[in-house]
Structure 1
């Protein structure tokens, strides 16, 4: 066998199949149970194309041609010049649990290709007519085979099912015809053929950017001109210019960095790209980024993310990158960002959700913070605009008010200070102490908590006024009085995993941001449903996401009280199966998990019931053997969470908690519990006016209670217990005003 010959395809042993199906992949870090039971998800032509493109690249192809008819529903043909498939392997090519990439269970820990189960063709053979034409370099002719429901079938009536010899080039051609012909519900859910073809072009464009050495061609049947064509042996800037236009390529910056690499930026001088702390970090990763400078802007962000060469989506990372540009570009403008991450395959988890919507990886927050800070530095070196420079200093430090004075004004101020120190000489020749210094108006700081807040500036209707009373501001005497928070002591815990998590919180504390939140003055809630509030610190005004901050606060409170929680009793105790069923019914696209909704409900319920002893001991979550939940942990005694979110909490605890490792289990469980405690309603309010006055009055009362808890319980708890992480600076805390700067504007008016 030569080096260019394909590896043989084998059936996995029954023992190995059972281990995977039984969840013994828990030996792999961050590997979820969903992965072991769900086949490749083919929900539209573009998803089928993505799987096949990855197979072509795995086969070492340098040329990939795609032909499409009616958006890929009538015909989707992918031809490559890779290593091909051996004739002897064709009979089992479309069967489940057949692969050329693993043979033993230990191979799972070191798989480095796009996948290992080889089930994309198996899935397609069940929903389409599948044909394969393939030829290896060592064979004299190509072989053609037809498949249906995973097995070989005859190409024409009267023929045998065996592969037939035919003419063909080296490589493999996959032909998918009549996609979803036997699943009319799925077919009806798809949009127009033009929309499906646009999705196909989008997938090919992104893979062409990431693989510029490979020639990609895509065209419709009957068309002489391809809609996408890239030459072989190009580079990424050339590919971006050809596929996205010169407007992007001329404003493109490049950076490469990693945990133990020094970032290099093109066109950026004297930018320090490697932090000293990076050399001591345990994680092993690297990244390459191509991103536009502040001169480019578009209506919609183009974000290409590849992790270990696989095209994925990460909403968290996308939001973080959007926030990098939010202080640079005008409102409504967006950038172009291409990002390729290389991470240890054992640390990547693509199965954190039943429908596989998200991808997570270890140290995600830390890696995201490092990437965004490096990009921000590179952009800062390119942008000299006042807006950008002001935004980069929003919460990076607490500026000395004297720094705002010019040199001339500093000299005058110093002379005045000297005169005041000397004192004044009276008529009797004696020197009397000078009067106390007056603070300039622009440096006066409000410190009284009794001063007027933002809410008091707007009239609030109470329920009686809504039902026909006179409108007017709500009486202050009717508002509940603030309570003194009870002291929350840290529990004694000897578990190494918990101690490690507590140390990580202490180590990640951002000193200056923690000081802002510790000594702030609450101004008011800007938008309850979007989770935005205003706070004041010194002479600066900050817009904060109280939802994101509260989520981190409740996580830290849960970690602080680990194993010693106060309980919230639920009477009567509801059935967890009923609650999970409510949440699963509201979840979209659950059929893509490969499980029915009752199966998903039962699996999550069994997971929680089987671990009820651990949940009761560590988290005070008591579940009966019959599946009734009797109590929940209380993170903050004076705070009542919104129990409407309980079904969603129980549903998320199934797939989103890593039950296979002690430290990750505690961390992910507390994260989900903190998400449940975040103040706010279950969903956004309907913009249409309700006709039910009673429901409207009830919603008003609920909003009022939420506002009171946020102001009088959540924010005071922030002052006492919160260790603010640096990540909040990127997206959740923004300076919106500075009193000295505002006075400068008024002086010019």
Structure 2
């Protein structure tokens, strides 16, 4: 007798060995090649480069999961080869196993297009120079498929330019586990941009373009015929480009020729690198490595390069390094990884050591020209007198400290919500000059709470505090709102300018204010009180994907309403969310005086309390509820449209939102927010530094 969930007892004998179905084999193989949209794009870019393309255009939708399209002007695909294009192990790169030792191209295993066709819907439009028209074909599971039932699967003639356009749609539609493991569409799109950027650096003679579907402006765009240094300047910015050094090394360097021994052709190699000097310091290493023009990873080379910079850069600082290494193909084994991401080659220790030696020589030579400051002895009266003299503060180190200086939106009339409506709800006269920032933020005391779970949440806030970022927010000067729709604002701290995602800032602030006031929140009374069921029904009806649930929409509404009403005493006591016995929303928690959340989000907030709050664990319940409450409080534009398309009432509401962001949200953040390090990942970005700008203008 066996226990449920365990393997059968050995006494039952060995299990039979079965052949896997071919479809299962193909999907397993596809998973080794195509991990995410970016890995599929890498394979497609390499095919385009192998075809001799000088222009490659990439279009992406939903991070590549809905659409991933690449168009090139290469040699195209012959009409006779289209039927077997997506079959496994079909390639034009090799015929025998010995050809692997002479490979100078990217793809050779013949699995990329096949793997994509097993996990997505793939369309190919291609034309060679000899063809009078282009050919269009659809693929599924490695073979041609018809577009409609009852039609032929043969390629169809169509209009098209020389080259190939491959369209990949609904990636991983038949492998839900792989699809669910992907990150958000924005993060997957960032990985795609990273792949395009790296290949654009290594192939400056090729024009690369990458954009989101429907967007008029590309996120990556490079001209053809550039140099590597020009491509780095265009794609990684002037701050890296101005500090770049260049070096070359090879097996035929003078040091290697002193012995008079002839180097075997199989051991020959050459390398080129562009790398930043000691003046450039970043928080994260940017390392691009191409071996025989293939983007690869090498932990050994990466660590060796980092070791070179250890004695040159301060602790925690990292450089930008691009290395292109060309080795005789007979010395390289490219077949050690399904995606060719890793390679093995002969004499790797000697080659790495030589490259790092040249890197270090260049860096040390450049570092000798740097200006260093030394502490001098005050034994000399003359030196002491010179040091005691008052020093003049240079203009680039002067900091604006007066809050009376004009901000961006002080040039336009922005009024507070209360001034706009007047004290009794009637239209007010309004004022062009808002009150000074911080004047309306009242003192918010921490409530007394003896629950262990709440104390743990408060301790986690303190532990996660990032001191430098918190200091920036506490001492900042508000500059202006850049884009209300994208939740972007500018602040100044010292001589630096920062771009802030005030939506992410607000979400963290209101979560911490909720933890701070747990059990003692003020109330925002709703009159007349709306029906809980009506609001939840509105949100459920507007929610996409509900039809995939096993429950009907009315059943979902019933379950959420029952969940909230059964816990209404707890919600009232801890969170000031008042729900009457007959299901009316009487009060909402007020986290910050003079700040009113957008009540258009109330149906969504109430609906999410059902499935998004963990009602089974006390601490998880409190934390998840406060996270949802913070999301409800995040300021959002009235309508995601341009001001020209708004009516007068919508413009007034939009100005009220802007007033709350500047005069309530940012002062409250300065006073109460313990900024977590996670905000630095993507929500707080330094965009300018006054000393750096002066150096730029001094060179002009």
User: By how many angstroms is 1:597 displaced?
Assistant: 2.2
Aligned to 1:569: 525
Are the structure 2 counterparts of residues 309 and 648 from structure 1 closer, same or farther at C-alpha, using a change threshold of 3 Å?
A: closer
Are the structure 2 counterparts of residues 434 and 579 from structure 1 closer, same or farther at C-alpha, using a change threshold of 3 Å?
A: same
Q: Residue deviations 1:275-324, cap 9 Å, x none?
A: xxxxxxxxxxxxxxxxxxxxxxx999999899996541555595398389
> Which of 683, 695, 705 does residue 656 from structure 2 map onto?
705
After superposition, where does 1:437-448 map in structure 2 within 5 Å?
437-448=391-402
Are the structure 2 counterparts of residues 531 and 320 from structure 1 closer, same or farther at C-alpha, using a change threshold of 3 Å?
A: farther
Aligned to 1:344: none
Q: Residue 611 in 1 paired to residue 567 in 2?
A: yes
CA distance in 2, matches of 1:688, 1:707: 13
CA distance in 2, matches of 1:636, 1:673: 12
Aligned to 2:460: 504
Please tell me whether the aligned partners of residues 323 and 730 of structure 1 are also in contact (alpha carbons under 8 angstroms): no
CA distance in 2, matches of 1:495, 1:419: 65
Please tell me whether the aligned partners of residues 539 and 603 of structure 2 are also in contact (alpha carbons under 8 angstroms): yes
CA distance in 1, matches of 2:167, 2:487: 25
CA distance in 2, matches of 1:202, 1:65: 25
After superposition, where does 1:423-572 map in structure 2 within 5 Å?
423=385, 436-457=390-411, 477=432, 479=434, 482=437, 483-572=439-528
Please tell me whether the aligned partners of residues 533 and 544 of structure 1 are also in contact (alpha carbons under 8 angstroms): yes
> Which of 654, 657, 677 does residue 610 from structure 2 map onto?
654
Are the structure 2 counterparts of residues 604 and 492 from structure 1 closer, same or farther at C-alpha, using a change threshold of 3 Å?
A: same
Aligned to 1:623: 579
User: By how many angstroms is 1:642 displaced?
Assistant: 1.1
Please tell me whether the aligned partners of residues 462 and 700 of structure 1 are also in contact (alpha carbons under 8 angstroms): no
Aligned CA RMSD, in angstroms, stands at 5.2
CA distance in 2, matches of 1:505, 1:738: 30
Are the structure 2 counterparts of residues 509 and 748 from structure 1 closer, same or farther at C-alpha, using a change threshold of 3 Å?
A: same
> Which of 107, 112, 115 does residue 243 from structure 1 map onto?
112
CA distance in 2, matches of 1:675, 1:414: 55
CA distance in 2, matches of 1:655, 1:516: 37
User: By how many angstroms is 1:600 displaced?
Assistant: 1.9
CA distance in 1, matches of 2:643, 2:111: 46
Question: How many pairs are equivalent?
Answer: 416
CA distance in 2, matches of 1:635, 1:300: 47
Q: Residue 319 in 1 paired to residue 178 in 2?
A: no
Aligned to 1:719: 670
> Which of 688, 692, 697 does residue 741 from structure 1 map onto?
692
Aligned to 2:589: 633
Aligned to 1:65: 22
CA distance in 2, matches of 1:62, 1:545: 54
Aligned to 1:340: none
Aligned to 1:332: 219
Q: Residue 588 in 1 paired to residue 544 in 2?
A: yes
SS, match of residue 630 in structure 1: strand
Are the structure 2 counterparts of residues 537 and 421 from structure 1 closer, same or farther at C-alpha, using a change threshold of 3 Å?
A: farther
Please tell me whether the aligned partners of residues 420 and 434 of structure 1 are also in contact (alpha carbons under 8 angstroms): no
User: By how many angstroms is 1:378 displaced?
Assistant: 6.2
TM-score by length of 2: 0.50
Please tell me whether the aligned partners of residues 61 and 81 of structure 1 are also in contact (alpha carbons under 8 angstroms): no
User: By how many angstroms is 1:681 displaced?
Assistant: 2.9
SS, match of residue 497 in structure 2: strand
Are the structure 2 counterparts of residues 597 and 667 from structure 1 closer, same or farther at C-alpha, using a change threshold of 3 Å?
A: same
Please tell me whether the aligned partners of residues 553 and 718 of structure 1 are also in contact (alpha carbons under 8 angstroms): yes
SS, match of residue 22 in structure 2: strand
Please tell me whether the aligned partners of residues 568 and 633 of structure 1 are also in contact (alpha carbons under 8 angstroms): yes
SS, match of residue 489 in structure 1: coil
User: By how many angstroms is 1:585 displaced?
Assistant: 2.2
After superposition, where does 1:405-416 map in structure 2 within 5 Å?
none
User: By how many angstroms is 1:571 displaced?
Assistant: 0.9
CA distance in 2, matches of 1:412, 1:611: 67
SS, match of residue 312 in structure 1: helix
Are the structure 2 counterparts of residues 244 and 537 from structure 1 closer, same or farther at C-alpha, using a change threshold of 3 Å?
A: farther
Are the structure 2 counterparts of residues 65 and 457 from structure 1 closer, same or farther at C-alpha, using a change threshold of 3 Å?
A: farther
After superposition, where does 1:378-389 map in structure 2 within 5 Å?
379-380=286-287
Please tell me whether the aligned partners of residues 597 and 635 of structure 2 are also in contact (alpha carbons under 8 angstroms): yes
CA distance in 1, matches of 2:691, 2:596: 40
After superposition, where does 1:149-164 map in structure 2 within 5 Å?
none
Are the structure 2 counterparts of residues 448 and 588 from structure 1 closer, same or farther at C-alpha, using a change threshold of 3 Å?
A: same
CA distance in 2, matches of 1:202, 1:526: 30
Q: Residue deviations 1:700-738, cap 9 Å, x none?
A: 111111111111111111111111111111110111111
Please tell me whether the aligned partners of residues 442 and 743 of structure 1 are also in contact (alpha carbons under 8 angstroms): yes
CA distance in 2, matches of 1:202, 1:539: 42
Are the structure 2 counterparts of residues 666 and 413 from structure 1 closer, same or farther at C-alpha, using a change threshold of 3 Å?
A: same
SS, match of residue 451 in structure 1: coil
TM-score by length of 1: 0.47
CA distance in 2, matches of 1:479, 1:315: 42
Are the structure 2 counterparts of residues 438 and 62 from structure 1 closer, same or farther at C-alpha, using a change threshold of 3 Å?
A: farther
Q: Residue deviations 1:427-465, cap 9 Å, x none?
A: xxxxxx9763210011111122221112235688999xx
Aligned to 1:253: none
User: By how many angstroms is 1:641 displaced?
Assistant: 1.1
Q: Residue deviations 1:550-577, cap 9 Å, x none?
A: 1011001101111111111111111011
Are the structure 2 counterparts of residues 742 and 733 from structure 1 closer, same or farther at C-alpha, using a change threshold of 3 Å?
A: same
CA distance in 1, matches of 2:471, 2:401: 15
